[in-house]
Structure 1
């Protein structure tokens, strides 16, 4: 069975509405993706670090309870699990505040064996930060050498606007490792002051990676692939309860589609048909929509994608 391996940060998300806390859940962009994949039966593994604290212990239990292998989640020798405050507005979109313990020192990764056509997902500031970069690159290099499909979610938020110049070499290297790059309007407005997906693809992405997915909230998703394929996909109209996990679950659905259709890395490199892309994107949009219907950051337990 093909594995999906996620590498990223773990945080405790505390969600607020009207400035009052609604609840708390383990989160992090790749974390949310991997939990949803575990819930739908994928062979999912997460690589991360948590504090040697009550929250960290609960996070590891949560992963296991949701069908995710947590053997590669290590604990900091010092420091606490990071906290994220998510403030929902009237449209149930979120603004974030992040709190990190400065005592944290990222431990070296131990990571699972990777086989050809396993799928690796990574992204967010975690993937470009100097603090975690050596471990991330080491794993990406290993996964690439083993023939894995590598999926990169840019997920670069406005809170790191002042870091753009400093992290750009790492960002470009991530594009180069990736077989698929996904980013949102917000990501590219922060990085490039540019929101036209065609121009982002041609000017910033296509030299490094030929498969690019651009999401823009309720607006159609844009796909650019192999220089010639240009498709647009309508997002379902619903009244969301929370959009916190929308992008993360889009990633989960995309990866689920690759698994469901048996897409190999060589097929990706050779170029998929429009019908294959359409099916993959239908799963991505279904996962994203489903996650917005509840207060969790993942698809519900027991949910079955069509």
Structure 2
């Protein structure tokens, strides 16, 4: 597996500055965010020169751009907000080739009008699912037009809040453009060791042929998020299950500070090599 990190973990508004920091921390790939180019995460306009600067920085730093973030609230309660976001998604998709990447990561969204990562009681309604299908259908059309894939991530606060919901969406859309970004820490909050292993195994088995990227963060015993290797997630089990399905894509960590990046890289390298984690915590 290739070891990566969210580029926006590091400060900077120039691709070269940010991607050099990624390399110096011990990572070989990154999930890019347009904020690292001094733009909005989902900008209305991206010039050819701005896209080319990402490719040039990736080449000079030796960091592969394995994805670019295209997250927006796909089931925002205001249809005009969704429509504007889809226009920005088109802008991003058009420039992916110029940035040397073919994967856009998405957020399936929530009915919360302010925070796209906050759960809402209406996320499980038929109307929310209908709006997701409409938005994803439009996103798939863009993906086909610009030859990119779309990575959706099951997470508890969103409408696709489980591996089963992700599978249902894949089945409904019937598009090979829909891929899975798997983050086991987004599949449970508080669980015993056996429970989390069962949840993670079931998700990987169900979505195996669609998993294009694996995320790496962690959970504290109280359910709050933690940096990879500093919580309760059984990384030996998680990475072992990924290896068992032949996954050889990118393992991308996030939800950490720049100061923690090198330590997280060391932990993940040890975990991938099957070495005890204690020495690097």
* TM-score range normalised by the length of the shorter chain: 0.3 to 0.5
Higher helix share: 2
